[in-house]
A = this chain, B = another copy of it.
Amino acid sequence: MAKNKRNIDLKVKQDELENTASRLFLSLGYEGTSMNRIARELGVAPNTLYWYYASKDELLVGVLNRQMSDTLARLPTIAEKPLKEKMAWALREFEQSRELVATVHARLEQSDVIREWHDQFHRFVETAVIHTLRADGVARERAATLATVGTFLVEGLLSHPHSPRQREAILQWFADSALPSQPPS
């Protein structure tokens, strides 16, 4: 009863799988989405997924990478904006994935694949943020510290409910403390 073969190639099929998985992960959460459910949605047998991904965690990594590259594509949009707006943008960017962020952190200790992805992700973000800060004239050591702090603030805001006023206050305070000589945005 196997159907399509070489006419659709691997990448295209993975795209399809990851799109569906992504949609379900975002709406039902990672734990709330069973492999069975994803397969049903796709009209395939549950174990078919295991031909493409060794585990549910690997599928999650695929979904995360897809979202990362989407976000990266939108990055140039805010390249020239001030720090505060960059952080607000990142926050908006990851807001839909809020639940997945928590899932990644929770699975760090249980899944090597997830931990590797997470570490790589942080190295990447940290490097990028440090570059930005240094371009604004921040010293190397200080830039590294600020990059970590900025990341923690974004993650904190992502995982805790808060009002727009709180968000605004936190970002403003951070921007002021990080770049005291910067003109207001």
Contact = CB atoms under 8 A, between A and B. Distances in A.
Contact of A103 (B106, B141, B144, B170): B106
A105 B105 CA distance: 9
Contacts of A31: 106, 110
Nearest to A159: B105
Interface string A85-122: 00000000000000100110111111000000000001
A165 to B, nearest CB: 10
Number of this chain's copies in the complex: 2
A21 interface: no
Contact of A110 (B32, B105, B156): B32
A57 interface: no
B99 A109 contact: yes
Nearest to A178: B177
Interface of A: 29, 31-32, 99, 102-103, 105-110, 122, 141-142, 144-146, 148-149, 151-153, 155-157, 159-160, 162, 166, 169-170, 173-174, 177
Given A145-B170, A149-B156, A149-B174, 6 more contacts: A29-B110, A102-B105, A122-B160, A149-B173, A155-B155, A155-B156
